[in-house]
Amino acid sequence: MTTESTTQAVVEARNLDLVFPTNDGPVQALRDVNLTINKGDFVSFIGPSGCGKTTFLRVMAALEQPTGGEITVNGMSPDEARRQRAYGYVFQASGLYPWRNIARNIKLPLEIMGYSKSEQDKRVNEVLELVELSGFEGKYPWQLSGGMQQRASIARALAFDADILLMDEPFGALDEIVRDHLNEQLLKLWARTNKTIAFVTHSIPEAVYLSTKIVVMSPRPGRITDVIESPLPKERPLDIRDSPEFIEIAHRVREGLRAGHGDDV
Amino acid sequence: MKTLVAVLTVLAVIIALWYAACLPMNIKGVLTEAERAGVTVVPAGAKERRDMGVIGLVLDNSFAIPATWAQKRPRLPAPHQVAVELWKTTGAMVLKGKTMSKRSLFFHGWVTLSATLLGFAIGTGLGILLAVGIVHSRVMDMSVMPWAIVSQTIPIIALAPMIIVVLYSIGVQGILPKAIISAYLSFFPVVVGMVKGLRSPDSMQLDLLRTYSANLNQGFWKLRLPASMPYLFTSLKIGIAASLVGAIVGELPTGAVAGLGARLLGGSYYGQTVQIWSALFAAAILAACLVALLGVIERVVLKRMGMGA
Ligand SMILES: Nc1ncnc2c1ncn2[C@@H]1O[C@H](COP(=O)(O)OP(=O)(O)OP(=O)(O)O)[C@@H](O)[C@H]1O
Ligand SMILES: [Mg+2]
């Protein structure tokens, strides 16, 4: 894991610890997490349930405070980074407001951040095109399929100029075919916008297909067991998943997951 | 069609039970009147009959059955008697061009309705303000909510005269005391509903706003308030019915001469049961109209907000 001196670190975590105090005693959600995410990386987090993937994303987003170690986002604290609109967050559920149509849902962050009306309209058009939802601006969320809703929520996260996209199992609730399609779209979008993406998933093929870097985690306490730099090219047709390289990486991820599990049994 | 049949069947059963109930309720009075008019009644003498079962009396004097539905001052008036009285004090008045005369239920209904609406407006405003405070402040949550609950455990019938006397002593009378009693009853459902509604956004929705660094104000206007709308309408429907009850109760202790409450009171002074029942029905119909009106507003508003699927 040598990072070239020219690449710019966007997220740096050093010896990160996070303990949740609960009624049944403290829960160590993250232990000694060290990770560097570079500009333009597509990083996937994979690991069994409860290994701290969501928690790590929330720490980056300043939604949780680490209890030990350090983390910087764009060279500042996550809190400052948030105030500078460094990231957009996509949750597992789309969380679209049922009382707003798609265009107005996408305008929500823009209104809060004080963009002008004309700028809002311009950006809505731009991001709707990016997620291939042009023409749906007047529809309400319940008039859209689950996959379209999730795309709309991605558009909402893209609408303001955040360099980092944090996505927590955005396609977790969708079926495989829709998912493949959205993954393809997401890669295109990533190539076009040059964002840095942190992506949580439970699916090995999804992680391997999307990522330049795969972070394998294991639970109790949540920690990183392996970081795999993907040798796959940036241009990835869906059938790359049958290539030997792809299968080899998938194998390594599976091994990593198994090893993590073996530890705690 | 099927629901219509079901509804009509239930209605028919209720009316049949009502007619049936008139027999035991009114038989003694009818027999006394009949005996006075010289008809032979079994057994003779009101004193004889006083301790007898009413069912037995009906069976022994079946000739008197029609009369139980046509008394002038029955204990329980028959449905058609109430209907006729309702018509005489509403539609017939309109036809005679005396819509707002003192005998018209439109006049009395309006007197009560105006107090209801004023009280409802006060109660709703107060309820929403309290709910906003409760949701945003732990101190208010812990200090106001218990009192709001306690306030509703005091029987309004005991409280109403005190409110009126106190307000009278400081020179407030007329519509306002009634409206205040009505507000007292209607603010509570609004507080409860709005608190629930304003708290209905889940943690993910709140987190999303935090990622935008949204402030409290934006969170309120953009998320909490719109999310609370369905809850608000549900409580408004309960609130308006409670308001009407409050306005009627507010008319009782003053010996008011106008309003549905006054009709109830006047009816019971003079044993005019038909008048009491028609005032009761007028109040029920008024409440149903108000709730239905709110239902229409709810549908329109939620539809315009995009939530009326
Ligand atoms: N707010 C919280 N309070 C207490 N414990 C928490 C909290 N959030 C998470 N945890 C605990 O921290 C650990 C990591 O949780 P986290 O949600 O990060 O897991 P995850 O990897 O995202 O799992 P999944 O794949 O199921 O989403 C779990 O043991 C969880 O119970
Ligand atoms: Mg998770």
Residue where one domain finishes, among candidates A111, A127, A161? A161
Q: Which ipTM did the prediction report?
A: 0.88
Instruction: Report d(CA B233, CA B177) in Å as an integer.
Output: 26
Residues in chain A with pLDDT < 50? 1-5, 264-265
For chains A and B, CB pairs below 8 A equal 50
Instruction: Report d(CA B12, CA A102) in Å as an integer.
Output: 50
Question: What pLDDT is recorded for position B93?
Answer: 78
Residues A243 and A174 in one domain: yes
What's the A52 CA to ligand 1 centre distance in angstroms? 6
Question: What pLDDT is recorded for position A2?
Answer: 45
Q: Which residue type is seen at B274?
A: V
- Per the domain annotation, does A1 fall within a domain? no
Residue for token pair 């079994």: B42
- Per the domain annotation, does A150 fall within a domain? yes
Residues A252 and A169 in one domain: yes
- Per the domain annotation, does A45 fall within a domain? yes
Residue where one domain finishes, among candidates A140, A161, A182? A161
Residues A110 and A124 in one domain: yes
Question: What pLDDT is recorded for position B235?
Answer: 95
Q: Which residues of A touch B214 (CB under 8 A)?
A: 112
Distance in Å, alpha carbon of A74 to nearest chain B alpha carbon: 16
Distance in Å, alpha carbon of A56 to nearest chain B alpha carbon: 15
Q: Looking at the 3D structure of chain A, how many domains does it have? A: 2
Question: What pLDDT is recorded for position B50?
Answer: 79
Q: What is the DSSP string of chain A?
A: -PPPTTS-EEEEEEEEEEEEEETTEEEEEEEEEEEEEETT-EEEEE-STTSSHHHHHHHHTTSS--SEEEEEETTB-HHHHHHTT-EEEE-SS----TTS-HHHHHHHHHHHTT--HHHHHHHHHHHHHHTT-TT-TT--GGGS-HHHHHHHHHHHHHSS--SEEEEESTTTTS-HHHHHHHHHHHHHHHHHHT-EEEEEES-HHHHHHH-SEEEEEETTTTEEEEEEE--S-S---GGGGGSHHHHHHHHHHHHHHHHHHHHH-
Residues A155 and A184 in one domain: no
Residues less than 5 Å from ion ligand 2, measured at CB:
A 54
Q: What is the DSSP string of A128-156?
A: HHHTT-TT-TT--GGGS-HHHHHHHHHHH
- Per the domain annotation, does A190 fall within a domain? yes
Residues A184 and A135 in one domain: no
Instruction: Report d(CA B215, CA A111) in Å as an integer.
Output: 12
The strand order across the sheet containing A164-168 reads A87-90, A164-168, A196-201, A42-46, A213-218, A223-229
Residues A105 and A52 in one domain: no
What's the B213 CA to ligand 1 centre distance in angstroms? 23
In this structure, which topology does domain B105-304 adopt according to CATH?
MetI-like fold (1.10.3720)
Interface contact flag, B307 A113, Cβ < 8 Å: no
Residues A108 and A239 in one domain: no
Residues A20 and A70 in one domain: yes
Distances (CA, A) of A151 to A31, A165, A196: 33, 13, 18
The helix/strand/coil state of B138 is helix
Residues A23 and A131 in one domain: no
Question: What pLDDT is recorded for position A265?
Answer: 40
Atom 26 of ligand 1: nearest residue by CA position: A49
CATH 1.10.3720.10, chain B: domain bounds? 105-304
Residues in chain B with pLDDT < 70? 255-256, 308-309
Among A31, A16, A60, smallest CA distance to A225 is for: A31
- Per the domain annotation, does A224 fall within a domain? yes
Residues A257 and A128 in one domain: no
What's the A50 CA to ligand 1 centre distance in angstroms? 5
Q: Which of A17, A19, A20 to mutate to test the pocket of ligand 1 (most atoms within 8 A of CB)?
A: A20
Among the bound ligands, the one closest to the CA of A219: 1
What's the A27 CA to ligand 1 centre distance in angstroms? 9
Residues A120 and A58 in one domain: no
Of B205, B214, B306, the CB nearest to A101: B306
Interface contact flag, A112 B209, Cβ < 8 Å: yes
Residues A134 and A174 in one domain: no
- Per the domain annotation, does A91 fall within a domain? no
Residue where one domain finishes, among candidates A161, A182, A206? A161
Q: Which residues of B touch A (CB under 8 A)?
A: 204-205, 207-214, 218, 222-223, 226-227, 229, 305-307, 309
CATH label of the domain that carries residue A170: 3.40.50.300
- Per the domain annotation, does A3 fall within a domain? no
- Per the domain annotation, does A238 fall within a domain? yes
Interface contact flag, B211 A97, Cβ < 8 Å: no
Segments forming the whole domain that contains residue A246: 9-86+164-261
Interface contact flag, B212 A108, Cβ < 8 Å: yes
- The model's pTM is 0.84
Q: Which residues of B touch A85 (CB under 8 A)?
A: 212-213
Question: What pLDDT is recorded for position A155?
Answer: 92
What are the φ and ψ backbone dihedral angles of A82, each rounded to 5 degrees? -65, -45
| Contact between residue A44 and residue A70 where contact means Cβ atoms under 8 Å apart | no
